[in-house]
Structure 1
């Protein structure tokens, strides 16, 4: 996934431009105080919003029905099974007004809709185009998308996010004695079949004795998507849909969006000193 746009720049308001500029300036100042922590296995708190790209990359693609039909997804043949905490629900939504992933109809004429892939920890749906829906004997979910007329539609995400839990951001951070808080990832690599991933932490902080302290630099987060999903032990009540201009490049480029509330993953590998 990369951030770019060819159309949709009319959605960039003055307020959004000011917010992005403020974030950029804040990031420059923080780099002077940033520390590179020692690596190892530790708790990782993912902040609401942009860190949801890990959900898209490391878990979301595994819900796309073409990968499951071919047996290439870790979630193949797991329909109806519990795959994570009962506090976790994950949806893909094409109906959010003004969202980059929204669509009135997909590229096969199916109305955009909200699809629940995981409900209360149970896998209950894949993301389908017409072909995969026919193969599974179910209805299309409005996820048959393509870059242009030069391509065939295939199952693709739209706006993929985890729904709110019950914990507050402050309580989640306070529960961690030593760990990493991540605002935003970049430069990720994922093995879709196995779910293994590595992501560079673009913006984050140390957590020390339940408090956010120094900014971090030059670290990666390494793990496995389904295992990380199963290791989420707290879900915040502060869901944020990221307003970035994400483009997903699975065989062809389509606009997408992502979001997540603050979540705590019990253990991930941090590549530091």
Structure 2
């Protein structure tokens, strides 16, 4: 049976952030993920996890200047010291929150730069992050993201991500397979899942409806089939619900859109 984690950056926006943990637990979620924890202390977050019986399964390392439009710095030459400081901060949070993995965003291509020119920086930074995470028994994730939502993002395809993982060669470096992004860029989701899941390099999955990024029962993907396929292939991990509720941030909006989840959640 699939295991689902509520993405608290996108779900339950009708509540203040720290109140979203309780809202997710009331709806039957046993785990949570979100973009960034750094606006709160580890004590605040750990208290919410404990009070609501939730497991923290994923968050992102610092992405650079998010408000200015940066979407990661791992591929950017000249930012290595900042990258290492960010990894140290992320791992400290992960350890305090008992979170087994962090997502390291690759970043956007600077004007006039090619992916090939940035690859060595990206690989070296990931090798560093994986080495530091391994000291704590933690994993590092990289995620292909579609360029419609995030123009110029360094990493777009599953095969690109898996090639990077192979080049780095760290057993705790994994691919975060977001089926929303994968459908937009590549399609053929069942074949992609059958190809990549057995490699052992997929460390986390995420879902959303395509094309609107609403609930996964809206749009062109028939997720029940894919959930059964994941069970067939023995996927042991979590599936992050990283979508925007159709009802937005109105009272009860997230909960009212969870009809798709009821057959799958215990």
Larger proportion of strand: 1
TM-score by length of 1: 0.23
Greater share of residues in helix: 2
